[in-house]
Amino acid sequence: MGAWPLAPGETSTLRGLPEQQAFGAAWAALPPGSVLFLEGELGAGKTSLTQGLAQALGFTEPVTSPTYALMNLYPTPAGTLLHVDAYRVRDPAELYEMDLEALIEGSRLSVIEWGERLYADYPEAPVLHLEHMKSPEIRQVTRRR
């Protein structure tokens, strides 16, 4: 394990689900109102990472992929954890019409999956790229910015 959370450009290998969740937990260090972008193919570990983050904020219930709901709001003891999946969104304007900006501002933390079209609007937000490796027991994560 390296130093978590990662600095821009750094990569970590995550061996198994507990490590994936522990990696996610490290991002609870981001200040209130922060955004964390996640990119990575099906099964790369986005939800697992988010589950670990939710646990670190004191939320003990299950976290699921917001693919159909578009947004999940988890009421953690530390404040709201907003979980957005922008995969099915045709135009980012749809998200802003759902009051995304105010929701982010009012949340402890916002995790946004497939949010490439929002990167320019949140230039301070880290982007984590998750990948499968040859072994199914391993994932790799790179902080792209």
Ligand X SMILES: Nc1ncnc2c1ncn2[C@@H]1O[C@H](COP(=O)(O)OP(=O)(O)OP(=O)(O)O)[C@@H](O)[C@H]1O
Q: Which residues bind Mg ion (CB under 5 A)?
A: 46-47, 65
Instruction: Give the distance from CA 104 to its chain's centroid.
Output: 13
Closer to ligand X by CB, 113 or 122: give it.
Answer: 113
Retrieve residue 16's tokens. Answer: 């198994």
Task: End-to-end CA distance of the chain: give it in Å, rounded.
Answer: 20
Binding site for ligand X (CB under 6 A): 14, 16-17, 19-20, 40, 42-48, 65, 137-139
What distance in Å separates the CA atoms of residue 7 and residue 16, rounded to the nearest whole number? 22
Instruction: Choose among Mg ion, ligand X, none what residue 34 binds, the Cβ cut-off being 5 to 8 Å by kind.
Output: none
Burial 5-43 (b: 16+ CB within 10 A, else e): bbeeeeebebeeeebbbbbbbbbbebeeebbbbbbbeee
Least distance in angstroms from the C-beta of 86 to ligand X:
12
What distance in Å separates the CA atoms of residue 71 and residue 92, rounded to the nearest whole number? 13
Instruction: Choose among ligand X, Mg ion, none what residue 108 binds, the Cβ cut-off being 5 to 8 Å by kind.
Output: none
Closer to Mg ion by CB, 84 or 125: give it.
Answer: 84
Closer to ligand X by CB, 99 or 137: give it.
Answer: 137
Least distance in angstroms from the C-beta of 124 to ligand X:
24
Instruction: Choose among ligand X, Mg ion, none what residue 8 binds, the Cβ cut-off being 5 to 8 Å by kind.
Output: none
Instruction: Choose among Mg ion, ligand X, none what residue 42 binds, the Cβ cut-off being 5 to 8 Å by kind.
Output: ligand X
Closer to ligand X by CB, 105 or 137: give it.
Answer: 137
What distance in Å separates the CA atoms of residue 27 and residue 4, rounded to the nearest whole number? 8
